Structure 1
Amino acid sequence: MNLVATLIFALIFAFVTVLGFFAARWRAGDLTQLHEWGLGGRRFGTFVTWFLLGGDLYTAYTFIAVPALIFGGGAIGFFAVPYTILVYPILYLVFPRLWTEARRAGHVTAADFVAARFANRWLGLAISLTGLLATMPYIALQLVGMAVVIGALGFQASGIAGDIPLIVAFIILAAFTYTSGLRAPAMIAVVKDVLIYVTVFAAIIAVPLALGGMGHVFAAVPAAKLLLATPPAGSLGNYSAYATLALGSAIALFLYPHSVTAILSSSSASVIRRNAAILPAYSFVLGLLALLGFMAIAMGLGTRPEFAAGFARFGTNFAVPALFLAVFPSWFVGVAFAAIAIGALVPAAIMSIAAANIFTRNIWRAFLHPACTDAEEAGIAKLVSLAVKVGALFFIIFLPQQYAIQLQLLGGVWIIQTAPAVMLGLFWRWLNGWALLIGWAAGIGWGTAMAASLSFKAAVYPLTLFGTLVPGYAAFYALALNLMVSVGLSLLLHLAGRRTAIVRG
């Protein structure tokens, strides 16, 4: 047990807990209303939205997994950097319009907008179920990130006893989310992001100094990991995989319910546009963070006996904690680990709120109890947010962690299939709701089949096109099928309707 690091970790966590409960009084509103509890009253300005979106999108698992992927797989892991650059033009062009439509009609979720735009509640139900399916494993993955740093502090007990710190953390999360709603993660996100920035900049300075400079870092990395391998004849190899992973991930990111929740909590469409311009600062930090994977290779952490147990327990996900343990004093290790743990709490809170909003608005009120009052709606949402957290905690404690990771691959495949209805639906009113539903089903079906053919262990599918092997992100290929079906069938139905009208005329 690293007592100094654990004490610092606990103190920062306690401070964040107090902040979470205090948030209920911040910009106080009637928390018996769903738009107040689940969207913060739609009153967050540029500053708060920047921290909220940053805390929402750059999760604990991101800070653990991106360097881990580079530590284990090399340059392919850098797809995360162009992906987070591509995503912000999409945010600027598309989502201010979604905010405007949602504010005008009182929508709380993307499924609200889709059901109203196409007058098709079954399409709305499909969008809402997709959001729930994609969100649950994502919440579980935040626990993976937290479990890694808790284990690195020295909590090595097996069974339920070893999970007690994790259970306590999520009881606290459940309590202040229930009490304060979206205001809690919005306020905590400021602390989380400040800690992350301090941690990353300290690491990017201290670790190269310990290794003799960045030149020594790159010299110590095997050549095969520094660059993408040249594709063999008749294949695009890692080139197409890299490109489709970046583009597909960029399209999918702001379709996740937690992303939509953060966007709709903004006070105006202009706030979203301004954030599209300043959020790339996080991409810069992510690029620096990715380099930690190379630094872990240069330090030979995978072969050092003092870290053997950590790598045996957590695999390559232990690379970043091992790096901090090897370079920094214990007090700073506590700060860094607290930053990562809080980086799990913030997105997990927003995700559980987003899932609660979807269930309450698009399933409970739309199908099960249409006559419920606004106060009843908010009450159900609070209870569902608790159930979602319990489900994620159960998942991560009683099932092997690799299952959560495998399901998260499906999360991207699933959520991207909502793009035609949500993103194109904002601009093309002539799209047909039933055509979009059939396209959604085709994309979900083929995407899941591709993932199943890979035994849910990878996201890159080896598709052959015109005699050339084009490995690519399964979500991207499934979206292409979805678009062809949705747009093509909408055109056919539109033309058929016009002909019918002419004949009747």
Structure 2
Amino acid sequence: MNWSALIVFVALFIFVTWLGFWAARWRAGDLTQLHEWGLGGRRFGTFVTWFLLGGDLYTAYTFIAVPALVYGAGALGFFAVPYTILIYPLLYLVFPRLWLLAHKHGYVTSSDVVQGRYGNKWLALAVGITGIVATMPYIALQLVGMQVVIGAMGVSGDGLVGDLPLIIAFVILAAFTYTSGLRAPAMIAVVKDLLIYLVVIAVTIFVPMKLGGFGPIFAAVPAAKLTLAAPAADTYGAYSIYATLALGSALALFLYPHSLTAILSSSSPGAIRRNAALLPAYSLVLGLLALLGFMAVALHVGTNPAFADGFKRYGNSFAVPALILAIFPGWFAGIAFAAIAIGALVPSAIMSIACANIFSRTIYRGFLAPNATSAQETSMAKLASLVVKIGALAFIIFVPVPYALQFQLLGGLWMIQVLPSVILGLYLRMLNGWALLAGWVVGMGVGTWMASTTSFKAAVFTLSFMGVHFPGYIALWALIANVAVSIVLSALLRPFVAPAPMLAE
């Protein structure tokens, strides 16, 4: 047991717990209204939105998984850096328009926007269910990151004993989310992101100092891991994989309910645009974070007997905790592990709130209780947020981690299939709701079938054309099929069905 790390970890965890409950008083509003509980009253300015989006997108799983991918696969793991850069022009150009529509018409979710745009409750339901199903394994994977750092401090075991720290953490999360809504993760995100910046900067300074600079670090990495493998004559190989992973991931990220919830909580379109300019600071940190994978290779943590049990239990996901334990004293390891654990709480809270907003507005009020009052709608959202957390916790306790990773792969390729309905619908009047629903079915089916050919273990499928092979991200191939069906069917239906009017901003 690493007692110094554990004491610091618990102290920081207690502090953010208090902060989560206190947040109910911050910018106090009527928490019986869904937009107050689930969107913070749409009053977060540039500063808070920056931390909220950063806490939302750069999660505990990011902190663990990106360096682990670089540690294991090498340069391919750096696709996460350009994909975050591709996101920001999309954020700047598209989402202020979405915010204006949501603010004018009182929309809380992307399903609301789709329902208002097309008047098709079944398409809105498809968009909403996609968001919930894609987000559930995402929440579960935050627990994987928390499991790894708790285990790194020596707190481990089998059965209930091993899962007890996660259960306690999620009971606390459920309590302050229920009482404070989105205000809690917004406030905690400030602490989480400051800790993440502190840890990443410290690691990128002190590890190279110990190893003699970045030159020896890169020299210690096998040459095959430093660059993408050159493609053969008849295939684009790793190049097309890298490019399609970056593009597809960029297109999908802000469609996730938690991302959109953070955006819609902003106080104005200007706050969103300013964040599009400021958020690349996180991409810089992500690049440094990815380098931790190479630092772990250079330190040979995988062959260190002290970390053998950790790698046996958690695989390459243990690379970052091992790196931190190898370099820093226990008290600093406690700060780093607390940053990762808090980095699980913040997005998990936002994700559960986002799923609850969808359930309450789209399913409960849309189908089950159309005459429900605002207070009843919000009460249902609070209960739904608890159910989502319990489901995610059960997912990680009873479902092996490899299966959770497979579900996350499926979640990404499913989530991108709502892009035509949510994004293209903001600009193209010709699109028909039923055609978009058909396109969604085709995209979901094609993507799931492609993933099944890899036994749901990989995100890449190879297309062949005129003897040339294009391996690429399954989600992007499925999206192309989705868009093609949506546009063609919309054109065919246009003589028979009048297009829905564009919503006024």
Is 1:372 equivalent to 2:372 in the alignment?
Answer: yes
Cα deviation code 1:191-230 (max 9, x no counterpart) = 0000000000000000011111100000000000000001
Aligned residue for 2:462, secondary structure, equals strand
Distance in 2, matches of 1:299 and 1:52, equals: 34
Distance in 1, matches of 2:305 and 2:409, equals: 32
Aligned residue for 2:461, secondary structure, equals strand
Displacement of 1:429: 2.0
Distance in 2, matches of 1:189 and 1:376, equals: 29
- Alignment TM-score, normalising by the size of structure 1: 0.98
Distance in 2, matches of 1:497 and 1:343, equals: 48
Residue number in structure 2 paired with 1:55? 55
Displacement of 1:466: 2.5
- For 1:431, give the aligned amino acid: L
Q: Which residues of 2 match residues 58-457 of structure 1 at below 5 A?
A: 58-457=58-457
- For 1:190, give the aligned amino acid: V
- Larger mean CA deviation between 429-438 and 237-246 belongs to 429-438
- Alignment TM-score, normalising by the size of structure 2: 0.98
Distance in 2, matches of 1:293 and 1:447, equals: 30
Distance in 2, matches of 1:34 and 1:360, equals: 9
- For 1:161, give the aligned amino acid: V
Displacement of 1:398: 1.3
Residue number in structure 2 paired with 1:34? 34
Displacement of 1:343: 0.3
Distance in 1, matches of 2:451 and 2:305, equals: 36
Distance in 1, matches of 2:366 and 2:170, equals: 30
Q: How many residues align?
A: 498
Residue number in structure 1 paired with 2:503? none
Distance in 1, matches of 2:393 and 2:473, equals: 29
Displacement of 1:494: 2.1
- For 1:134, give the aligned amino acid: A
Distance in 1, matches of 2:63 and 2:488, equals: 40
Displacement of 1:497: 5.6
Aligned residue for 1:375, secondary structure, equals helix
- For 1:407, give the aligned amino acid: F
Cα deviation code 1:464-486 (max 9, x no counterpart) = 12221111000000000001111
- For 1:347, give the aligned amino acid: P
Cα deviation code 1:14-65 (max 9, x no counterpart) = 0000000000000000001111000000000000000000000001000100
Distance in 1, matches of 2:465 and 2:280, equals: 34
Distance in 2, matches of 1:348 and 1:270, equals: 27
Aligned residue for 1:464, secondary structure, equals strand
Cα deviation code 1:238-278 (max 9, x no counterpart) = 00000000000000000000001001100111110110010
Distance in 1, matches of 2:97 and 2:227, equals: 39
- Larger mean CA deviation between 107-116 and 458-467 belongs to 458-467
Cα deviation code 1:379-418 (max 9, x no counterpart) = 0100110010011101101111111111000111001000
Distance in 2, matches of 1:122 and 1:308, equals: 51
Residue number in structure 1 paired with 2:501? none
Aligned residue for 2:386, secondary structure, equals helix
Distance in 1, matches of 2:275 and 2:323, equals: 32
Displacement of 1:495: 4.7
Distance in 1, matches of 2:433 and 2:181, equals: 33
Distance in 2, matches of 1:198 and 1:249, equals: 27
Aligned residue for 1:461, secondary structure, equals strand
Cα deviation code 1:166-200 (max 9, x no counterpart) = 11111000000000000000000000000000000
Distance in 2, matches of 1:105 and 1:468, equals: 49
Root-mean-square deviation (CA), in Å? 0.8
Displacement of 1:312: 0.3
- For 2:240, give the aligned amino acid: S
Aligned residue for 2:494, secondary structure, equals helix
Residue number in structure 2 paired with 1:502? none
- For 2:133, give the aligned amino acid: L
Residue number in structure 2 paired with 1:503? none
Distance in 1, matches of 2:367 and 2:121, equals: 9
Aligned residue for 1:263, secondary structure, equals helix
- For 1:39, give the aligned amino acid: L
- For 2:417, give the aligned amino acid: Q
Residue number in structure 1 paired with 2:21? 21
After superposing on structure 2, the runs of 4+ consecutive aligned residues of structure 1 that deviate more than 4 Å are: 495-498
* Same amino acid, percent of matched pairs: 69
Distance in 1, matches of 2:3 and 2:154, equals: 9
Cα deviation code 1:358-395 (max 9, x no counterpart) = 00000010001111111010001001100100111011
User: Unaligned regions of 5+ residues in structure 1, if any?
Assistant: 499-505
- For 2:278, give the aligned amino acid: I
Distance in 2, matches of 1:188 and 1:424, equals: 34
